[in-house]
Structure 1
Amino acid sequence: MIYNSKRKMKRIFKHKYFQLFLGWTISFYLKLCFQTSIWLTKNSEIVEKHIKKNKSFIVCFWHNRLLMTVFCWKWSKEFKMLISGHADGKIISNAISYFGIQTITGSSRKNNLSSLKEILKQINNDSIIGITPDGPRGPNEEVKKGLISLLKKTNVPVLPLSYSAKFKFTLNTWDKFIFVTPFNKFVAVWGNPFQFDKNKTLAENKLILEKEIKRVTMLSDNFSN
């Protein structure tokens, strides 16, 4: 009985119109949270400096802070996000499309060749790409090797990002997803730029990037309280 119910739910989540409806519902809630809250941004000059170069760069943030990231990007330069092609990814893609954000379908896994080709194409076109380096399935807050390999290949800079809120709840999901409420105080924090260091190993580069994303995540939590 439980097994059949789960199968039915999976079928519902894969239905195109349900995904569109849920995407619209999420976008409405995100707008409500943003419009009824105070929003502060720290270190935005780092982003402005890179935008002026008119070159591609990657924005990295943990999967559990994905949705409200749409409000962290306040510049006219087009911003795209790498989102999973799974049902939940399609729902997120539908939601963020209401904020003018385009989706690159794929993940940061090393063996995802189709998304790698598309990312390389976007980098060559000087696009700005948002990536959750621990997505789409974890482990939580751990940078995937696929992203580090991409950075080695392209030498494109990474800007770490996090946001937090005064009123938030942690959901019981693999990524410990942060659920926020309206009438809140949000703080977005941009971190120090990261670029692949060829004098260090892949593992060392991975650790450096992880530490910086964790640092700005901790700062955003501290600032919002």
Structure 2
Amino acid sequence: MFRKIGRSRFVQHLLGALLAGYLWFVKKTNRIIFIPDDVYGPVDDNAPVIITFWHGQHLMQTFYRRPKDRCYVMISRHGDGEINAYAAELLGMSVIRGSGAQRSDQVRKRGGIQALRQLLQLLEAGEHVSMTADVPKISRVAGDGIVALAQLSGRPILPMAVVCSRRWDFPSWDAASLGLPFGRTAILVGKPIPVARDADAAAKEQVRRTVEAELDRIYAAGYAALGSSYPGADRASMFAARAKRQAEVDAALAARG
């Protein structure tokens, strides 16, 4: 019964509206600091860009959006995704539905290929887009999708982080974090990361690892600026997943000679 109620579009939109209202309240009651001071410079100087962040903080990115900005965010098609998508729309974002996957046969089923095509068209039209760097359900391991989008579009990847001093850290696969009212929020952007259109497999893998490293750097810097530790950064599962991915790619590249 409760599962059926949870699939109701009315209930999902009600929860989405409550979530949007809560995040609006958090933003209004938090003191926001920007790192660097000109936090919008990299966006304005390189427009349009592909904004990226770690999974579990995709709605916190709405704190970065200025009233004049239009940005399209990719959000999954599942039930929780409907709640998040409606909340994002109420907070001023435009939504593209779809998500990546660890297995290639799941990508089409989840709408990942269609969503990437839509994002590519939007970039070609001069619109900013955003998507998580990591793919369910392996946290903090950048996927190939964002690198492919940057290569095909010729637009740079811009790592971004929004972190709060007062927050709930959830024991979920993605180490999700939700800000609390009456604290401080740090909004950070990293260095734009370009991908050459003629990049080979080795070059694209280097970009993927650079995305991971830059996201780790700005998230850690944000939490440090707030006098807090980076939640999830010391998880053994994350390091194991990264090592496994890097070993698999290195072996494949070596086999190609």
Same fold (TM over 0.5): yes
Distance in 2, matches of 1:103 and 1:63, equals 16
Pairing 1:169-188 to 2, within 5 Å after superposition: 169-188=168-187
Q: Secondary structure at the match of 1:121?
A: helix
Following TM superposition, by how much is the alpha carbon of 1:31 offset from its aligned partner in structure 2, in angstroms? 1.4
Does the CA-based 8 Å contact 1:108-1:147 persist in structure 2? Answer: no
Is 1:221 matched with 2:223?
yes
Counterpart residue number, 1:153: 152
Counterpart residue number, 1:208: 210
For 2:50, the aligned partner's letter is I
Counterpart residue number, 2:72: 80
Pairing 1:53-92 to 2, within 5 Å after superposition: 55-74=47-66, 76-92=68-84
Counterpart residue number, 2:115: 115
Distance in 1, matches of 2:49 and 2:37, equals 15
Is 1:17 matched with 2:10?
yes
Following TM superposition, by how much is the alpha carbon of 1:46 offset from its aligned partner in structure 2, in angstroms? 5.5
For 2:212, the aligned partner's letter is E
Following TM superposition, by how much is the alpha carbon of 1:150 offset from its aligned partner in structure 2, in angstroms? 2.0
Does the CA-based 8 Å contact 1:44-1:190 persist in structure 2? Answer: no
Following TM superposition, by how much is the alpha carbon of 1:75 offset from its aligned partner in structure 2, in angstroms? 5.5
Q: Secondary structure at the match of 2:92?
A: coil
Following TM superposition, by how much is the alpha carbon of 1:77 offset from its aligned partner in structure 2, in angstroms? 2.6
For 2:203, the aligned partner's letter is T
For 2:147, the aligned partner's letter is I
Following TM superposition, by how much is the alpha carbon of 1:50 offset from its aligned partner in structure 2, in angstroms? 3.7
Following TM superposition, by how much is the alpha carbon of 1:201 offset from its aligned partner in structure 2, in angstroms? 2.7
Does the CA-based 8 Å contact 2:39-2:188 persist in structure 1? Answer: no
Counterpart residue number, 1:130: 130
Alpha carbons of structure 1 residues 9 and 34: separation in structure 2 relative to 1, 3 Å: same
Q: Secondary structure at the match of 2:40?
A: helix
Distance in 2, matches of 1:27 and 1:138, equals 25
For 1:94, the aligned partner's letter is Y
Alpha carbons of structure 1 residues 119 and 216: separation in structure 2 relative to 1, 3 Å: same
Higher relative contact order by CA 8 Å / sep ≥ 6: 1 or 2? Answer: 1
Counterpart residue number, 2:248: none
Counterpart residue number, 1:104: 96
For 2:226, the aligned partner's letter is S
For 2:55, the aligned partner's letter is H
Aligned CA RMSD, in angstroms, stands at: 1.9
Q: Secondary structure at the match of 1:82?
A: strand
Alpha carbons of structure 1 residues 52 and 195: separation in structure 2 relative to 1, 3 Å: closer
Consecutive unaligned residues of structure 1, counting only runs of 5 or more, are 1-7
